[in-house]
Chains A and B, each alone.
Chain A
Amino acid sequence: MRKYYEFVVEGLIFASGIASIIFVLLIFIFLLKEGLMVFRDVGLFDFLFGKFWYPISEPPRLGILPLILGSLWVTVGATIISVPLGIACAIFIGEIAPGWLREILKAGVELLAAIPSIVLGFIGLVTLVPLVKKFFGLPTGLTAIAGSIMLAFMAMPTIVSIMEDALNAVPKGYREGSIAMGATKWQTIHRIVLPSASSGIIAAVMLGIGRVIGETMAVMMITGNAAVIPHTFFQPVRTMTATIAAEMGETVQGSEHYFALFAIGIVLFAITFLVNLLADLSLHRKPVRA
């Protein structure tokens, strides 16, 4: 009887363990199956580097370069803003702030992560967008820069919390050794602690970027959604995610447009997979600098 019970429990645990992999595989297969259909009509090169996204013209033009560039601009902008801020914030929380302040700040960062992206997008739309418009003197505030600023705030919690873990993982002995040699706090941080935590810091940045690339709702609300190739941060852009979200509901199932949206999904999947892979590699690299 007991043996039978063990067998069932083991089976259930095995099934739940394997289920996640099966779901991922199924999703991936479905995505590939639907997405690859678009290449019956468009070449891979024309799809990735086509300059025009007119999916409902006749014949449809399915070039996603404007969308890729839209995502890229917003992501690069968000990275430029969030990485230095996030690193500084993590250093302050992990190394400098006194205990009570540290707890408050950590809770604050976690709270920031808990805000639903739609709420952030909404707040961005009514506060940030007019501000951007006025500050830069633009015809519209719905631009890449507004999206970048908004997304920077969404990436911050990821960057800060993972980086703070990385700083925490630096052995106390390194800090003591450095301080005992007469190094100042700042010398210890930037000469010893940061290099020791470098792999974790890179992973934090990568995961932050991954978060930004995949974000949809907030970006859709505040970037203006014009599918044109952007030349500056002060133009409206449309990201890949926003395109899928905005158009999937309106397209005819089985149409070229429908397949093209899935193909965008594959491109996004490939990009986030790559970013996560890089993060993983740097996390599991031996924390040694020669």
Chain B
Amino acid sequence: MCRADMVDPKIQIENVNLYYGTFQALKDVTLNIPEREITAIIGPSGCGKSTLLRCLNRMNDLVSGTKVKGRVMIDGKDIYHASVDLVGLRKKVGMVFQRPNPFPISIFDNVAYGPSIHHLASKRQRSHIVERALSAVDLWESLKDRLSDSALSLSGEQQQRLCIARLVAVEPDVLLMDEPCSALDPIATERIEELMRQLVKDYTIVIVTHNMQQAARVSHRVAYFYLGELIEFGPTEKIFTRPSRQETEDYITGRFG
């Protein structure tokens, strides 16, 4: 399922230590995330998995008192370097949140928001972008006649798809997903997972999930975190069948967590 070697990782996380004030949320994390694969981050609540995800698009910057040490390289460039343009970084690294958060504007305007703030396309081209983005998440057929409806009128699953479409519209490289299915029912979850399998052909996906079955179903690689430390990282089949660390085995077999 996953490539054996990792010649050219998309994201290199090197010796990252992260502090919220005096609390250390990440401890010396080193991790290479390959391109066009789904990497799942698992672990019990409070283990730092969302924090790590939010390091990758610097959303942690919004939390005052956050200090990051170490390096996070995307395409070989340190995103914590002083010269980094946050707007450009976040355009390239999109994020899907735990609760679907479409803006309370029309479906069309939601998808057109990114292209519009990044001045990507003229007004006329935008309708093509919207069509392409909605098609990419399989919403176009069902919504093409009601694009001016409020995005809040959609179901939870449709809202989450719309949030993904909103990112796809600005053509990012990386999609960060923070428990994207935790507010959805099992059927909707399965469909979003199917969407992730389609999207991974074009995007590098990093997903945080508390659901180990989900990690086992969709991911190529799994990173297990505990109390801010990376305990084990490897191909999904290996982690779930022959983990090399006892702690990992305890967690995935449900003896703990």
Interfacial residues, chain A to chain B (CB-CB below 8 A): 171, 173-174, 176-184, 187, 191-192, 195-196, 287-290
Interface centre among A178, A181, A288 (most CB of B within 10 A): A181
**A residues less than 8 Å from B149 (CB atoms):** 290
| The one of A171, A181, A289 that contacts B90, using a Cβ cutoff of 8 Å | A181
| Nearest 3 interchain pairs by C-beta | A173-B101, A182-B90, A182-B91
Q: Provide the bound-state CA to CA distance between A181 and B94, in Å.
A: 6
List 30 A-B pairs, Cβ < 8 Å. A173-B97, A173-B101, A174-B103, A176-B62, A176-B101, A177-B97, A177-B101, A177-B103, A177-B163, A178-B113, A179-B59, A180-B57, A180-B59, A180-B95, A181-B90, A181-B94, A181-B113, A182-B86, A182-B87, A182-B91, A182-B117, A184-B117, A191-B117, A192-B105, A192-B113, A195-B104, A288-B104, A290-B106, A290-B148, A290-B150
| The one of A179, A182, A289 that contacts B104, using a Cβ cutoff of 8 Å | A289
A170: nearest chain-B partner, CB-CB:
B104
Q: Provide the bound-state CA to CA distance between A173 and B103, in Å.
A: 9
Contact B101–A171 (Cβ < 8 Å)? yes
Least Cβ–Cβ distance between B223 and chain A, in angstroms: 21
Contact B87–A184 (Cβ < 8 Å)? yes
Interfacial residues, chain B to chain A (CB-CB below 8 A): 57, 59, 62, 86-91, 94-95, 97, 99, 101-106, 113-114, 117-118, 148-150, 152-153, 163, 166-167, 170
Q: Provide the bound-state CA to CA distance between A183 and B95, in Å.
A: 13
**B residues less than 8 Å from A196 (CB atoms):** 103-104
Contact B170–A181 (Cβ < 8 Å)? yes
**B residues less than 8 Å from A290 (CB atoms):** 106, 148-150
**A residues less than 8 Å from B150 (CB atoms):** 288-290
Contact B59–A176 (Cβ < 8 Å)? yes
Least Cβ–Cβ distance between B156 and chain A, in angstroms: 13
Question: From DSSP, what is the main secondary structure of chain A's interface residues?
Answer: helix
Contact A176–B117 (Cβ < 8 Å)? no
A177: nearest chain-B partner, CB-CB:
B101
Least Cβ–Cβ distance between A199 and chain B, in angstroms: 10
**B residues less than 8 Å from A171 (CB atoms):** 101
A288: nearest chain-B partner, CB-CB:
B150
Contact B90–A179 (Cβ < 8 Å)? yes
**A residues less than 8 Å from B117 (CB atoms):** 181-184, 187, 191
Interface centre among A180, A192, A288 (most CB of B within 10 A): A180
Additional pairs, 6, CB under 8 Å, beyond known A181-B114, A287-B104 = A171-B101, A180-B95, A182-B91, A183-B87, A191-B117, A290-B149
Q: Provide the bound-state CA to CA distance between A180 and B105, in Å.
A: 17
Q: Provide the bound-state CA to CA distance between A187 and B90, in Å.
A: 14
Contact A288–B87 (Cβ < 8 Å)? no
Least Cβ–Cβ distance between B84 and chain A, in angstroms: 12
Least Cβ–Cβ distance between A122 and chain B, in angstroms: 43
Least Cβ–Cβ distance between B186 and chain A, in angstroms: 23
**B residues less than 8 Å from A183 (CB atoms):** 87, 113, 117
Least Cβ–Cβ distance between A289 and chain B, in angstroms: 6
**A residues less than 8 Å from B91 (CB atoms):** 181-182
**A residues less than 8 Å from B102 (CB atoms):** 177
**B residues less than 8 Å from A182 (CB atoms):** 86-91, 114, 117-118, 170
**B residues less than 8 Å from A288 (CB atoms):** 104, 150, 152-153
Least Cβ–Cβ distance between A172 and chain B, in angstroms: 9
**A residues less than 8 Å from B118 (CB atoms):** 182
Contact A289–B88 (Cβ < 8 Å)? no
Q: Provide the bound-state CA to CA distance between A53 and B91, in Å.
A: 66
**B residues less than 8 Å from A184 (CB atoms):** 87, 117
Least Cβ–Cβ distance between B127 and chain A, in angstroms: 17
Least Cβ–Cβ distance between A10 and chain B, in angstroms: 40
Least Cβ–Cβ distance between B152 and chain A, in angstroms: 6
Q: Provide the bound-state CA to CA distance between A178 and B95, in Å.
A: 10
| The one of A176, A179, A181, A289 that contacts B105, using a Cβ cutoff of 8 Å | A289
A192: nearest chain-B partner, CB-CB:
B103
Least Cβ–Cβ distance between A112 and chain B, in angstroms: 29
Q: Provide the bound-state CA to CA distance between A226 and B44, in Å.
A: 75
Least Cβ–Cβ distance between B60 and chain A, in angstroms: 12
Q: Provide the bound-state CA to CA distance between A187 and B88, in Å.
A: 15
